[in-house]
Amino acid sequence: MDLPVNEPSPRVVAGGGAGSCGARPGQSGGLTDAIRARIEDHPCYSEDAHHHFARMHVAVAPACNIQCHYCNRKYDCANESRPGVVSELLTADQAVRKTLAVATRIPQMSVLGIAGPGDPLANPERTFEVFRQLAQKAPDIKLCVSTNGLMLPRHVEDLCRYHIDHVTITINCVDPDVGARIHPWIFWQNRRVRGRQAAAILVEQQQLGLEMLSARGILVKVNSVLIPGVNDAHLPEVSRVVRARGAFLHNVMPLIARPEHGTFYGVMGQRSPQPVELQAVQDACSGDMKMMRHCRQCRADAVGMLGEDRGAEFTLDRIETMDVDYEAAMAVRREVRAEIAARLAARRASGPTPAVSSAVLRANPQVVRFHSRATKPAAPAGRPVLMAVAARNGVVAVHFGHAREFLIYEASAAGCRLIGHRRVESHCAGAESCGEAESVLARTIELLVDCEVLLCARIGYEPWGQLAAAGIQPNGEHAMQAVEEAVMAVWQQMLAAGKLTVARTGARRA
Amino acid sequence: MAFTIVASCVNCWACVPLCPNQAIQVEQPHFVIRAGSCTECVGDFAAAQCASICPIEGAIIDELGKALNPPGSLSGVPPERWALAQAEIAAR
């Protein structure tokens, strides 16, 4: 599929940004086969995979070498799912044991990441000891690391040595003036450096590290935190620059800031972006690069499928008592993977989104698919519709009242695409500390106000009425169907009923 | 002369490998500096290493009890603003 893509200005990386991966992502409007093969079982990188594969983070990296205004190193709360929050710090040996235990109990587990709670590369001994042992003991598990990038150039060789598959760099800016409003200080060459000077060093090291990784064929994803009024207008530029340096995916995440988090942004009243703002920035960035819409901003000790956290099942005292026969577990995992791969292949072949050919689908798994807008077929009948889905493992399987999050899909003649997910509960579930007067239902409706349809397995009478009154049509007819099939079926129904040639009716605007 | 780590320390380990004298001990409930070993980095570094990476305001004090990183100096949050936010949260 050839898409109009603005090629970045002259290549920054001498010697091939994509390393061994052949053609650069973007040149062909999608990912190369090699990259696709490398991410197809990675729940964080592949939207398809995230319905089927699990991941875990081990919290072995407590130290950090920079300060971000959205982070508070003091807090650890079980109700928090912000990145950087963690309940139990592990030694390298404990982390290895936990990984093997989880990979035995959750055979869908395909990825082990180290993401904090500080910066993994500010704790190189622990981080690389975990990687060293796991590369030996669990060779079928992909290893990844997430970093602020400050120490990245120094550790690129180590990352190659242990066959780290993917690296995520949090890059919130490429302009030090913007950076100074996000990162008040860094620790650099034995001193604390502040302000613009600090941001300039951070930006330089991040970009250098990104180039070095790309040149060695390590896949790099860039995470950016969207901070309204600080870097929202700047992020399309970030997207353009990091793509030019070889990043294969850009993930724009919303700032999470509340006064009770004790962060600079939380206390100073910096607001978090609304879902529509996030979507607008993601759309503005995706003209330049592939975007991720299914990220759940996991904790640094998250365990399980994206959107769930089974960490409590694998605390230190519990894993001590678990029997781990790793050879047997690996065999089980091989089977589970083959089964999932077959299911995904079958689904792709049958073409869940009718308006797009299966060949196009095969060539473009969802997460890496460019906007359907850009590939709109000749006769687009009917306007696009946003739908919220209460899903589990890619199926419309959740009761409305039990849903902790909704996946938001846009259905159109070009097929359907995931544009994000929205959490229903506030990030802090403790009602005493975070409770607000509005009811959960009212907040849910507020959150989904731009959606016309809500797909769920079942729904109660009361919420049905309130949703319908707000212009969000609940629909329980597709329970246990694959999400994309269900979304497209509803859209086709609406089209046939003539609802899509006229504007949305009955919507209550926010 | 020696610095002291106090109760607000969150045991993040950042300071431990930086100390030129290996004076920082990993202990519960919080890490401590062995007074006999601490030189305040004089002769080794221009700035005390533990205090230069510590993310917690007030967690390291000098012999006079003065915080090496006073309130507001790391987070950028003015102390009065911090107090206001805490009061608002408490009032909920």
ipTM, two decimals: 0.95
Output the CA torsion sign for A26, A32, A38, A40. positive
Question: Do residues A263 and A257 touch, judged by C-beta distance below 8 A?
Answer: yes
Query: Any residues with CB less than 8 A from the CB of B10 and at least 6 apart, and which?
Result: A73, A74, B30, B55, B56, B59
CB contact under 8 A, B13 and A62: yes
Contact at CB, B46 and A185, closer than 8 angstroms:
no
pLDDT mean over A424-450 = 64
| Cβ atoms < 10 Å from Cβ of B63 | 11
pLDDT of residue A26: 37
**Sequence-ordered strand ranges (E) for A276-375:** 303-304
Tokens encoding A383: 């306007």
**What is the distance of C-alpha A310 from the center of its chain?**
18
Q: Which of A26-30, A69-73, A242-246, A442-446 has the lowest mean pLDDT?
A: A26-30
pLDDT at residue A295 in the model? 64
Kindly indicate the confidence band of residue A326, based on its pLDDT and cuts at 50, 70 and 90. Answer: confident
Residue A431 CB coordination number (10 Å): 11
Is A74 in contact with B49 (Cβ distance < 8 A)?
A: no
Which of A190, A264, A428, A432 to probe by mutation at the B interface, max B CB count within 10 Å?
A190
pLDDT at A84: 53
**pLDDT above 90 (res A37):** no
Q: What is the pLDDT of residues A277-300, one digit of tens each?
A: 988 898 888 754 555 666 666 666
Residue of chain A minimizing CA distance to B9: A74
The C-alpha R_g of chain A, in whole angstroms, comes to: 22
For domain B1-92, the CATH class is: alpha beta
Per-residue pLDDT tens for A154-193?
A: 999 999 998 898 999 999 999 999 999 999 999 999 999 9
A63 touches chain B (CB under 8 A): yes
Segment among A302-311, A316-325, A470-479, A480-489 with least mean pLDDT: A302-311
**What is the per-residue pLDDT across A227-255, written as a single tens digit (0 to 9) for each?**
999 999 999 999 999 999 999 888 899 99
Bridge partners of A416, per DSSP, are: A411
Note the pLDDT of residue A87: 62
Residues of chain A with pLDDT > 90: what percent? 36
Residue B40: CA count within 13 A, CB half-sphere: 10
Q: How confident is the model at residue A22 (pLDDT cuts 50, 70, 90)?
A: very low
**Closest by Cα among A251, A226, A286, A233 to A6:** A286
Strand partners, A249: A221
pLDDT range class, residue A354, cuts 50, 70, 90: very low
Looking at residue A291, its pLDDT comes to 57
Is residue A12 less than 8 Å (CB to CB) from chain B? no
Q: What is the pLDDT of residue A293?
A: 64
Q: How far apart are CA A403 and CA A386, in angstroms?
A: 18
- Tell me: the pLDDT tens digits for A178-189? 999 999 999 999
pLDDT for the residue numbered A296:
63
* pLDDT confidence of residue B21: 96
The answer to whether residue A75 scores a pLDDT higher than 70 is: no
pLDDT at B79: 92
Of the ranges A84-88, A150-154, A461-465, A492-496, the best mean pLDDT one:
A150-154
Preceding peptide of A117 cis, ω within 30°: yes
Distance CA A422, CA A483 (A): 16
Contacts of B18 in chain A (CB under 8 A): 190
Q: Which pLDDT value is given to residue A2?
A: 39
Summarize pLDDT for B28-82 with one digit per residue, the tens: 889 999 999 999 999 999 999 999 999 999 999 999 999 999 999 999 999 999 9
Share of chain A above pLDDT 70, in %: 77
Return d(Cα A239, Cα A222) in angstroms, integer. 9
Residues of B whose CB is below 8 A from A264: 75-77
pLDDT tens column, A124-140: 999 999 999 999 998 88
A97 CB near a chain B CB, below 8 Å?
A: no
Cα–Cα dist A491/A412, whole Å: 7
Instruction: List alpha helices for A168-315, DSSP H.
Output: 176-179, 195-215, 235-244, 264-268, 275-286
Closest residue by Cα to residue A384 from A374, A373, A375: A373
In chain A the domains, ranked by start, together with CATH numbers, are: 29-319 (3.20.20.70), 378-510 (3.30.420.130)
Residues 187-216 of A with CB under 8 A from B: 187, 190-192
Contacts by residues A471-478 (CB-CB < 8 Å, ≥ 24 positions apart): A471/A504, A471/A505, A471/A506, A471/A507, A471/A508, A472/A388, A472/A445, A472/A448, A474/A400, A478/A396
Residue A314 clears pLDDT 60, i.e. is over it:
yes
Whether the pLDDT of residue A429 is over 60: the answer is no
**Residues of chain A by 3-state class (helix, strand, coil), percent to 5:** 40, 15, 45
The per-residue pLDDT of chain A, averaged, comes to 79
Q: Could you tell me the pLDDT band of residue A269, with boundaries at 50, 70 and 90? A: very high
**Is residue A122 less than 8 Å (CB to CB) from chain B?**
yes
